[in-house]
Structure 1
Amino acid sequence: MQLLLPGFTPPDRPAEIRDAREALAAYPDTTVADLCRHAKILGRAAEQLVDSLLTRLGERVYPADEHERHDRLLILPDGASLRLQVKTRHTQAANGNYIFTLRQRSERGCTGRGPYRPEDFDILAAVVLSENVVRFTADWQLRQVIHVSEIAELRRNPRASLDAALARLGHTDAIPGGWDADLDLAA
């Protein structure tokens, strides 16, 4: 326990944080209402998972300002930067897959403000937070799917989808060890 300064009393935790702690204690076994109510907290957790993964892969990643249409900047070895958008799914569709619909987040909840445009970001980081996995893609589609069968490979080789996205964008020089796969498969 950290000692407090004499006469200093830390502020009470905000009600939203107290509510989130209770509501998310059994995550991912959480109600849809609680997932929506605490979407900003869970979105921040997804962004931190992306930061952690990219940092573990030796990449330089920085948060973007809140008003930007992307969440992160990935700085490549040559100094070029790529804009990353982080999107999160917590629950599976009826067929077991994780479906991402690329809509801008709402200020309150998880309804969204409308679709993104291709010029808003370069790479999507699709996060299945309940599985702690990320798939990167530069394949522009408003609907992205991570099949449940992909989860094990995303966990086993977290760099593969990033390298494929970099190759798709023409940044093969930024891939450690180079790129020798078929570019048509780079999504």
Structure 2
Amino acid sequence: MQPFLPGLTMPPRPTETRDARVALARYPDITTEDLCRYAKFLGASAELLVDSLFMRFGERVFPMPEHERCDRALILPDRAPIRIQVKTRHSVTACGDYVFNLRQRSERGATGRGPYDSCDFDILAMVVLSEGVVRFTADWHLRQIIHASEIPELRRHPRRSLDAALARLGHTDAIPGNWIDDLDLAA
């Protein structure tokens, strides 16, 4: 076996990542136990999907430190920072919708530290990881829903909800090609 760097051999893969590889190979058809066990892996995956979208949009986005109340900072052309919170859902309701209940996670368990405050972030990025789609919103509700019927449109026009959220915040000047849609799209 050829070492990656002269004199450097890769350490054996930690047990947790070996186990994650087996469990997550079946995602989204995994057990609730595995979903909880690998929540950090899936959360990071959702953040990377959001990063990928921002890169494809030509936007400047930066990860925030773990202790911050938001996950990303989007820097607009006028240098204004927009705080982005990324949330993901893995399970659907009986009618195929994805429901996001905005609670902060906790290192001590899945119950979280309670709901977010409206001053914690500017835009929510809701990720349906199994569908590979993101919906952005600046509308403040502790319970948000992505309806199954929205997913094809989110795939076809992935930037539209971001532009609507920016317009809702009054940043129409940051929208490429000018904003001409109705603000009801951001709801």
Q: Normalised by the shorter chain, which TM-score bucket? A: over 0.9
Which residue identity does 1:117 align to in structure 2?
D
Q: Partners of 1:143 and 1:5 in 2: how far apart?
A: 49
CA contact (8 A) 2:161 2:185 kept: no
CA contact (8 A) 2:3 2:9 kept: no
Which residue of structure 1 lines up, in the alignment, with residue 186 of structure 2? Answer: 186
Counterparts of residues 32-71 of structure 1 (less than 5 Å): 32-71=32-71
Q: Partners of 1:2 and 1:151 in 2: how far apart?
A: 45
What's the offset of the Cα at 1:186? 3.0
> Do the aligned partners of residues 182 and 33 (structure 1) sit closer, same or farther apart at CA in structure 2, a change above 3 Å counting?
same
1:129-162 CA-to-partner distances (Å, cap 9, x unmatched) read 0000000000000000000000000000001000
> Do the aligned partners of residues 154 and 110 (structure 1) sit closer, same or farther apart at CA in structure 2, a change above 3 Å counting?
farther
What's the offset of the Cα at 1:106? 2.4
DSSP 3-state at the match of 2:86: strand
DSSP 3-state at the match of 1:151: helix
Which residue identity does 1:139 align to in structure 2?
D
Q: Partners of 1:111 and 1:164 in 2: how far apart?
A: 31
Counting matched residue pairs gives: 187
Which residue of structure 1 lines up, in the alignment, with residue 92 of structure 2? Answer: 92
How high is the TM-score relative to the length of structure 2? Answer: 0.94
What's the offset of the Cα at 1:7? 4.1
> Do the aligned partners of residues 155 and 57 (structure 1) sit closer, same or farther apart at CA in structure 2, a change above 3 Å counting?
same
What's the offset of the Cα at 1:6? 4.7
What's the offset of the Cα at 1:91? 1.2
> Do the aligned partners of residues 7 and 55 (structure 1) sit closer, same or farther apart at CA in structure 2, a change above 3 Å counting?
closer
Structure 1 position 22 matched with structure 2 position 33: no
Structure 1 position 128 matched with structure 2 position 123: no
RMSD: 1.5
> Do the aligned partners of residues 165 and 30 (structure 1) sit closer, same or farther apart at CA in structure 2, a change above 3 Å counting?
same
Q: Partners of 2:111 and 2:19 in 1: how far apart?
A: 20
How high is the TM-score relative to the length of structure 1? Answer: 0.94
DSSP 3-state at the match of 1:113: strand
> Do the aligned partners of residues 4 and 57 (structure 1) sit closer, same or farther apart at CA in structure 2, a change above 3 Å counting?
closer
Structure 1 position 166 matched with structure 2 position 160: no
Which residue identity does 2:14 align to in structure 1?
P
What's the offset of the Cα at 1:48? 0.1
Identity across matched positions, percent? 73
- The gaps in structure 2 that reach 5 residues or longer are none
CA contact (8 A) 1:103 1:114 kept: yes
Which residue of structure 2 lines up, in the alignment, with residue 153 of structure 1? Answer: 153
DSSP 3-state at the match of 1:119: coil
